[in-house]
């Protein structure tokens, strides 16, 4: 599933749409990505409009159109955006195509877990205005992180990091990267990580910045000093300790960690 940096990369693929009038709107009206949207109304609303701005928050994208209206996109598990030359010949998984005289902005989603929304008017939709602070915004504070851990003290730390109401944009690989850099075991109960809040907050922001710099710009390859290039390899080696990595399902997600670095404390014996 695309995470913070991947979503930012895909947003940039639609940048050529900015300032160009939409001359054609093609979509699959029965596609699941349009659940809750009147597709005929969406087509009529977008025709002739010009995209004036675009934004990313966590795993969500929002495109503002100059004549009024906001197009929201969530990529789900398999969604992507790209810019194609015209004439564009959409395939079966190209569920929304915005054509201009210079090219076509395409939303592609084979598994259709993504979503398209439309909000008319000059003000952004409510779901955007009530979003939690972004990881690099001033509102994302150590106190907010501590609150998240305290509210779910028995949940695995990995599971809490995946909660979008606290950590928008963090997905499977980012959570593993954060915990590995912090030397925290992904199965550690969140309530036992309170002393690590200052370091954890710093590393969350560091990974977000690194991911946006390396992946969010041009889908660059993360360096070998990260966990990322090693996490899916059979027999993968921890780049910090040189010891083998392990993989297992934690919080319902395939998780990679370095047992030589990320040790799980033994529970205290009851007397």
Q: What is the CATH number of the domain that holds 154?
A: 1.10.8.50
**Strand pairing partners for 97?**
26, 106
Q: Crossing angle, helix 197-218 and helix 142-151, to 10 degrees?
A: 110
For residue 245, being part of any structural domain is answered with yes
Residue 271 pLDDT class (50, 70, 90 cuts)? low
Look at residues 129, 162, 179 and tell me which one is the last residue of a structural domain: 129
The answer to whether residues 157 and 117 belong to one domain is no
Residue 266 pLDDT class (50, 70, 90 cuts)? confident
The answer to whether residues 121 and 151 belong to one domain is no
The residue-averaged pLDDT of 157-175 equals: 97
Instruction: Write phi, then psi, for 60 (nearest 5 degrees).
Output: -110, 145
The residue-averaged pLDDT of 106-135 equals: 95
For residue 146, being part of any structural domain is answered with yes
Instruction: Please give the structure tokens belonging to residue 2.
Output: 């695309």
DSSP 3-state of 60: strand
Q: What is the pLDDT of residue 67?
A: 86
Instruction: Please give the structure tokens belonging to residue 40.
Output: 């005929």
For residue 86, being part of any structural domain is answered with yes
Distance, in Å, from the CA atom of 7 to the CA atom of 93, rounded to the nearest integer, reads: 18
Residue 265 pLDDT class (50, 70, 90 cuts)? confident
User: The whole model's pTM is what?
Assistant: 0.94
For residue 134, being part of any structural domain is answered with no
The answer to whether residues 101 and 148 belong to one domain is no
The domain total for the chain is: 2
For residue 109, being part of any structural domain is answered with yes
For residue 81, being part of any structural domain is answered with yes
The answer to whether residues 117 and 206 belong to one domain is no
For residue 265, being part of any structural domain is answered with no
For residue 112, being part of any structural domain is answered with yes
The answer to whether residues 148 and 125 belong to one domain is no
Distance, in Å, from the CA atom of 21 to the CA atom of 50, rounded to the nearest integer, reads: 5
The residue-averaged pLDDT of 147-172 equals: 98
Per the structure, the complete domain to which residue 174 belongs is given by 142-257
The answer to whether residues 157 and 247 belong to one domain is yes
The answer to whether residues 24 and 121 belong to one domain is yes
Domain CATH for 54: 3.20.190.10
The answer to whether residues 110 and 199 belong to one domain is no
Q: To which residue do tokens 């997600």 refer? A: 253
The answer to whether residues 244 and 175 belong to one domain is yes
Q: What is the pLDDT of residue 38?
A: 96
The answer to whether residues 44 and 154 belong to one domain is no
For the stretch 18-34, pLDDT in tens is 999 999 999 999 999 99
Q: What is the pLDDT of residue 268?
A: 56
Look at residues 97, 129, 161 and tell me which one is the last residue of a structural domain: 129
The residue-averaged pLDDT of 230-255 equals: 95
For the stretch 140-152, pLDDT in tens is 999 999 999 999 9
Q: What is the pLDDT of residue 68?
A: 87
The answer to whether residues 149 and 124 belong to one domain is no
Q: What contacts 162, CB < 8 A, 6 or more positions away? A: 170, 171, 172, 175, 251, 253
Q: What contacts 17, CB < 8 A, 6 or more positions away? A: 51, 63, 83, 98, 100, 105
The residue-averaged pLDDT of 186-215 equals: 98
Look at residues 80, 108, 129 and tell me which one is the last residue of a structural domain: 129
Within 13 Å of residue 132, how many CA atoms lie on the same side as its CB? 16
Q: Considering only CA atoms, which of 53, 70, 55 is closest in space to residue 134? A: 55
Distance, in Å, from the CA atom of 152 to the CA atom of 156, rounded to the nearest integer, reads: 9
The answer to whether residues 115 and 172 belong to one domain is no
Asked if the model's pLDDT at residue 233 lies above 90, the reply is no
The residue-averaged pLDDT of 126-149 equals: 96
User: How many helices (H) and strands (E) are present in the chain, helices listed first?
Assistant: 7, 10
Instruction: Please give the structure tokens belonging to residue 57.
Output: 């928050």
């Amino acid at each position: 599933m695309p995470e913070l940096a991947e979503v930012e990369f895909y947003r940039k693929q639609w940048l050529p749409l900015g300032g160009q009038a939409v001359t054609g709107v093609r979509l699959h009206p029965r596609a699941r990505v349009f659940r809750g949207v009147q597709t005929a109304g969406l087509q009529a609303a977008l025709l002739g409009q010009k995209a004036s701005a675009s934004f990313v928050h966590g795993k969500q994208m929002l495109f503002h159109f100059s004549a009024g209206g906001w197009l929201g996109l969530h990529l789900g598990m398999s969604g992507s955006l790209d810019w194609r030359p015209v004439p564009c010949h959409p395939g079966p998984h190209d569920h929304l195509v915005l054509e201009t005289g210079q090219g076509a902005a395409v939303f592609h989603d084979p598994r259709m877990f993504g979503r398209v929304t439309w909000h008319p008017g000059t003000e952004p939709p409510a779901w955007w205005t009530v979003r939690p602070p972004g990881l690099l915004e001033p509102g994302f504070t150590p106190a907010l992180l501590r609150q998240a851990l305290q509210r779910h003290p028995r949940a695995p730390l990995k599971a809490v990091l995946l909660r979008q109401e606290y950590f928008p944009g963090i997905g499977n690989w980012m959570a593993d990267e954060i915990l590995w850099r912090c030397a925290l075991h992904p199965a550690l109960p969140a309530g036992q990580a309170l002393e690590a809040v200052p370091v954890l907050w710093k590393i969350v922001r560091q990974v977000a910045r690194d991911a946006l710099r390396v992946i969010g710009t041009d889908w660059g390859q993360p360096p070998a000093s990260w966990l990322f290039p090693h996490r899916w390899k059979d027999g993968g080696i921890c780049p910090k300790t040189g010891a083998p990595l392990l993989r297992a399902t934690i919080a319902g997600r395939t998780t990679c960690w370095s047992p030589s670095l990320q040790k799980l404390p033994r529970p205290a014996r009851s007397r």
